[in-house]
Structure formats: C-alpha cells, structure tokens
Amino acid sequence: MSYTMTQKTQDGLGGLLLLGVILTQGADAATYETSFYCAKATTATENTICHDEHLAALDRQMAKSYGQLTVTMRQAGNYTEALQYVTESQKKWLQERNACRADTLCITNAYGLRLAILNGCYLPDKPAAQPAPTPQPKPCSPTDRVDYNFIKKSEGAMLDFYVPGAFKANIETGKNLGPRYQKNKKTGDLEQRAMAASGVTVGEGVDLGQQTIDNLRRYMEIEEKKYGKPDSVKIENILFQVEPYIGLKKEAAVNALNDYYDKNNKIYPTLRKADADFISSAVKHGYAEDAAALFNKNANPKMNFWALPSAVQTTLTDMKYHSYISSVAQHYYRADWEGAAAEFETLATGKYAQYKARFQARAQILRDAITDQSLPKQGDPCAPKKTPVAFNRSLWWESQRGPRWA
C-alpha cells in the first residue's frame, strides 16, 4: 500500500508526523469517538476520521485544546483581539482540514500543525523569566508594582494600524488582515463597526483616538530618560507616522484607514517592531504616572500611589488605560477596596457588559489581595501602625496607692 503526499504535506511537517498514522480500513470499520456526531458526518474527511482510531484521538485532543484555550482566554480577560483571532482561524483551519477529503496523511498533518499552534503559541500567561532573582521591595516602599503583563493582554501587539472590532487582526504577525463586517440588526446591511469608541490603534493597544501629539511626545521623552531608547528609534519619526490618526474615533478612524489602504497599493500603515515596542512601553508607563498623579491628588485619606500594593497600582493603571470610571475611582480615593471590587462586578454585568471579562479580572485582583491580606477591605494599607500609649505610673501615684497603715 502506498501514499501520494500532497504539496501541502511536503511544505508542512516534512514527514515528521508520519509516526502513528493508521490507514482507514473501509466503511465497515469500527466507528471511534470524535468531537462531532459520526452518524451525521457529511464529508469524506469526517467519515475518514470517524473510522480511524488515530485520527479520532487527534480530533478529541483538538477539541480539548481549543476548548481549554478559549475558556482560559474568556476567564482571564483582556483577550478580545486574541480570542477573535483564535476563533476565526479555527474556522479557516476546519476548511483546510476538510479539503484533505479522505487523505489520511493530509488530515494527520493538518491536526498536527494546528495542535502545535494552539499548544505552543497560546500557552497560559507565565511570569517573564528573570536572569537572576532580584530582592523584592519591602511592602509600602515607594516603587513601581504595576503588572504591565496584565495590561499587555488587552490588545495583543500589532505592527499594522487597525481599529478594534472593524478590522481583523493577526496577533502572531501583527498584521491587519482587512475589514471585519458585522450585520446591522435594523437594516441587515454589512458594515464595519468599531468597538465602543475605539480609534486607530497600534502596538499594545495604543489608541491614537485617545491621544494628543503633545502627550505622546511627553510619554516617549520620559520613557527615553528613565528607561533608555534604542538608537534606531526616532521619536519624531513615530510622531510623524501616527499624527494623521490622532483624535479620530469610530467611523472617522475606520474611514481613515480604508482611505490609506486604497491610496497606498492595498497596504495599511505600519510601525517597525522597535518603534511599536517603544511607543507601547512609553504609553503604559505614562498611564501609570497619570494614574498616580490623579490618585495622589484626590485620595482622602492621603496615600502615596507608588507605596500601595500591586493590586491597586495595576487595576488603577489598567482603568486609566481603558475606561476610567468615576464611580469606581471614588472607591479608590476613599481607600474602599472591597467597594471598588464590587463596583467592577456590577458594571461587568450592566453598562460595561461588553468588557465583562476585563472588569471581572480587575475585581478578582483586588479580592485576591484582600484574601492574602496585602490589602484591607477598607483603609490605607500603608498607614502607620497605632501602638497603645504606655501608662506612666509616677512615683506620686505609687505612693498614693500604698497601704494606709504603711
């Protein structure tokens, strides 16, 4: 018995997935458990999988890996673009798999390639590896405790300019894949629709619709002074590239990108990776500084933002980055941490249900800090401990309490 390998197989794993391939023995072979109903299989590919023990096992593993990944993304929050990409690429992969028809080797390689992507490219978040352990700052010592990785999960890292919701984004390559259409419920027309009030966005969620040139220049100049800048990165060059999209939101932002695409050989504006990384880092650090200034100005009792636990610094900075809501901020200013968590949870199922996962993740960070006692339910976690005043028994007191007959 021989096989004819398709060009796709030759370009793929190059035969590495040959191990374990079991040929389908015919329509009368045993039917194995799969992620779909074999009794309703309609394609040659599905029938082949149903009657091949090895392919059926790969199909079950695919369903498990894909399910775990999407559930983890929804529960973790801040994976809007990543989750969209995974679900859309899964549909495209199913079409490619079905194109294999009854070619067992082609089907095997299709599963192998997809599983490698799901299990390799989208692992659960882990702390960045450090070259050497560094001493942890003492509690309440002023320092930057913001978890920037939590914020990074918000948008992915894009090199091409895009508008969240209105364009398809490939977070692996940073490419804008073109318009994303949604059906208008009233008219039935297909239209590009920005997510909420989103503007043209690049890097790690740098929404140019929310920015000014002066603010971006200030953020990047401070970033250079505090953290350095690669020689290849030129701040004025970045500002020149982003300036046409400053302040544009929703339909205006979508139209601006579509116009650029039509006038520039069917490509979207893009940043070099070094430039995208630099402006992303500058904006994140800038938002943390802005959040600190707001908090230190309004906090009552007076508190120092940079002395507070990571849970407070991270969630307040993330809120400055996305949806700075007065009703939540007031809880922070009053040091009502439990109240802030509850408000996030209320908004997650109400007005801001579109961002449910992100709001719930913020609430959970605060509740976890309360549970591990790094944060009280209410009050300044860095307030000086009150010690009881020692009672000074004077010599006169001692003489007065002596026995009358002494």
304 with 382: CB under 8 angstroms? yes
pLDDT at 15: 40
Structure tokens at 280: 């992303």
Answer with the residue of higher pLDDT: 331 or 352. Answer: 331
73 with 125: CB under 8 angstroms? no
Most confident among 148-152, 194-198, 203-207 (mean pLDDT)? 203-207
pLDDT at 66: 86
Tell me how many degrees the CA angle 284-289-293 measures, rounded to the nearest 5.
145
Give tens-digit pLDDT for 337-368: 999 999 999 998 888 888 888 899 999 999 99
Any idea which residue has 């650090």 for tokens? 285
pLDDT-derived band at 221, boundaries 50, 70, 90: very high
Query: In the predicted model, is pLDDT for residue 24 greater than 50?
Result: no
pLDDT at 117: 81
Give tens-digit pLDDT for 72-123: 777 666 566 777 888 888 899 999 999 999 998 899 888 988 888 887 655 4
Mean pLDDT of the chain: 83
279 with 271: CB under 8 angstroms? yes
Helix axes 337-348, 326-333, angle to 10 degrees: 170
Which segments of 186-334 are extended strands (E)? Answer: 190-192, 201-203, 206-207
Give tens-digit pLDDT for 127-176: 444 555 667 788 888 999 999 888 877 656 899 999 999 999 888 889 99
Burial 104-137 (b: 16+ CB within 10 A, else e): bbbbbbbbbbbbeebeeebeeeeeeeeeeeeeee
User: What is the rounded CA–CA span in Å between residue 398 and residue 406?
Assistant: 13
pLDDT-derived band at 39, boundaries 50, 70, 90: confident
Tell me how many degrees the CA angle 81-84-89 measures, rounded to the nearest 5.
125
Mean pLDDT (whole number) for 229-237:
93
Give tens-digit pLDDT for 260-314: 999 999 999 999 999 999 999 999 999 999 999 999 999 999 999 999 999 999 9
User: What is the rounded CA–CA span in Å between residue 61 and residue 33?
Assistant: 11
